[in-house]
Amino acid sequence: MFLQKARDPAFWQKVRTEASYANLRRECMEIWDNCASKPMQELRLQDYLRFFGDGDRAVYEFAYFARRRALCATAMLSLVYPDQPEYLRRLEDIIYAIATEYTWCLPAHQLWDGEKMDVIHIDLFAAETGWALAETYDLLGERLQPFVRRLIRDEVERRIIFSFLDGKGTTPWEAYVNNWASVCAGSVSAAILYLRPDLYPRAEARIDACMEKFLGGYGDDGFCAEGVGYWSYGFGFYIAWADLIRDFTGGKRDEFTRPKVKSIAAYMQKIFLSGNTVVSFADGSRTAKPNACINDFLRAEYGDYIQYLAPANPISCDHCGRFCLFTRAAVWRSEARLPGEPASPIRSGECYAPDAEWYIKTTESYGFAAKAGHNEEFHNHCDVGGFIIAKDGKQVFCDVGAPLYDRGFFRGETRYSYFHSSSRGHSVPHFGQGLKPDTVALQKDGRQYAASDVEVREGHFALEMAGAYAIEGVRNARRAFALSDTTISLCDTFDVAQGIPVTERFIFLEKPCLKEGGFEVGGLDCLFETPLEGVQLYEEEISIHDSKATETAWVLDAAPQGQTFRMTVRTK
């Protein structure tokens, strides 16, 4: 599906003139004006090494990704406006700058001993760079100067193709069962198919094994425990690879006939709660706008099994400049999808994913999600029993998602000191005193710290979560939700030893207004149905993913008098 259109100059003429591509043209020109037409920002050694000092990865990555975004925009402009040579000449400058970078691997993924680094280490973004340059080589063809074409071939072969084929042993990500497997393997595969198809038989078995591992990271329910952003990333690269494989094999190999692939394809349409608010367990985003090209491609594959999701995200080139998804924002896009179209309504209903153990219910009044699961999921948070209530296009009872990524967040010894990933930052009980309970009062991280005895029926979701804490004396902690069209009832029952205090914790991004017997927040009226020892409300400044800014999270702690806690939440 991809190659026939992408290699056709008549298709790019349509992108140049037709209304359905207006946002894409505008986006390309904005990137051109803001960075692509300007001198390349220097990639400084001190910024690279900063990650190994204070853990900051943002300064170097900002400049690195600006180059990739510039590559996306200038390559697209060169295809759309072949009669304007300034775009092609600038594209060649950008290719030269990227090709002469010392390493394509980000510091956060680099093998570094304080003296030397692995220059040709293939991480996510080195792999993506290889796909980007190889696809540019194919689509622009002889329009690129011979020196530039040779430069692309030499550098992609050295850093990606032969690094993969002739390196010592296998790469670490060949054992992964998450987005790394599909992004890295798909990118290596694309680089070989475009530049050295004669070598593909040497790579094929390893590439296929990676893709099987990636699919193995999903259950048969097709749910992505990492969140919607990682679904768009990992599965987006998977389907781009699968489409390319189908093209290069003349349709003889078709991954899209596999039932599991079809199940994964339907994930995104199931996780919208209210407006563009989505389920944000683990490092998921709280909001999302559908990726139009992925949605349109999957609808072309599977018909009405895939819902039409609108409005689409007006931004096709994300902050990382993911080239293969940007080119497909044009090629896969349905020409019937117009800019500025109104949102498709969220369908009321219930969904349970038995492998992820997520329960989701949407009504005209609210959206609700809760999870059982365990505490060793990809991009894990300690959140067994956590839940979200969304209303009027925003999360009210909130799962804050991912923090600003830094070195400490990806180190096992420090990850769960972060509010975002610790159970102290989720709407779950803790078994201790104080505004910031000691870690012994919180859930533990690890596959064995899991929910049990999950019960699901219409309008009802319950689980046993004591196993997520593994605290001596906490024998049972059962959480049950009962849901109607306008009401959510929470009932927690505990069996704990004398002297172990129980505190119910709830997380918000808007300050609750306390009142007699409960509180109001975000258009919800919340009533405590059992006696309490007391209620505490405080705020905590937390980081924002992909931002140097912070935001305020509001934490409400309620201490039940006995070993039962009930609360009713009604929509106003």
CA distances from 490 to 107, 146, 456, 526, 543 (A): 45, 67, 14, 10, 29
pLDDT of residue 485: 97
pLDDT of residue 439: 82
pLDDT of residue 21: 94
pLDDT over 90 (residue 523):
yes
pLDDT over 90 (residue 527):
yes
Phi, psi angle pair for 331, to nearest 5°? -70, -40
Domain residue ranges in the chain: 2-331, 349-571
DSSP string, 393-420: TEEEE---------GGGGSTTTGGGSTT
Contacts of 407 by beta carbon, 8 Å cutoff, 6+ apart: 51, 55, 57, 108
CATH number, domain 349-571: 2.70.98.70
Instruction: Provide the CATH topology of domain 2-331.
Output: Glycosyltransferase (1.50.10)
> Vertex 547, ends 546 and 549: CA angle to 5°?
155
For residue 310, give the H/E element and its range. Answer: none
Contacts of 461 by beta carbon, 8 Å cutoff, 6+ apart: 352, 359, 370, 454, 455, 480, 481, 483
71 with 91: CB under 8 angstroms?
Answer: yes
- State the pLDDT confidence band at 340, using cuts at 50, 70 and 90: confident
User: Which of the two residues, 78 and 347, has the higher pLDDT score?
Assistant: 78
Kindly report which listed range (203-207, 335-339, 396-400, 552-556) carries the lowest average pLDDT score.
335-339
Q: What is the mean pLDDT of the chain?
A: 95
pLDDT over 80 (residue 435):
no
DSSP state of 258: S
pLDDT of residue 433: 74
Starting from the edge strand earliest in sequence, which strands make up the sheet with 532-543, in order?
A: 504-508, 550-560, 532-543
pLDDT over 80 (residue 243):
yes
pLDDT of residue 230: 94
DSSP reduced 3-state for 314? coil
pLDDT of residue 436: 77
Quote the distance between the C-alpha of residue 99 and its chain's center.
28
pLDDT of residue 335: 87
Does residue 85 have a cis bond before it (omega within 30 degrees)?
A: no
CA atoms within 13 A on the CB side of 172: 8
CA distances from 514 to 31, 359, 483, 504 (A): 47, 29, 23, 15
Tokens standing for residue 491: 């009932």
pLDDT of residue 549: 87
DSSP reduced 3-state for 291? coil
Sign of the CA dihedral with 66 first, then 68, 72, and 77 last: positive
488: amino acid identity, one letter: I
- State the pLDDT confidence band at 412, using cuts at 50, 70 and 90: confident
Phi, psi angle pair for 427, to nearest 5°? -80, 75
- State the pLDDT confidence band at 564, using cuts at 50, 70 and 90: very high
Q: What mean pLDDT do residues 192-202 have?
A: 98
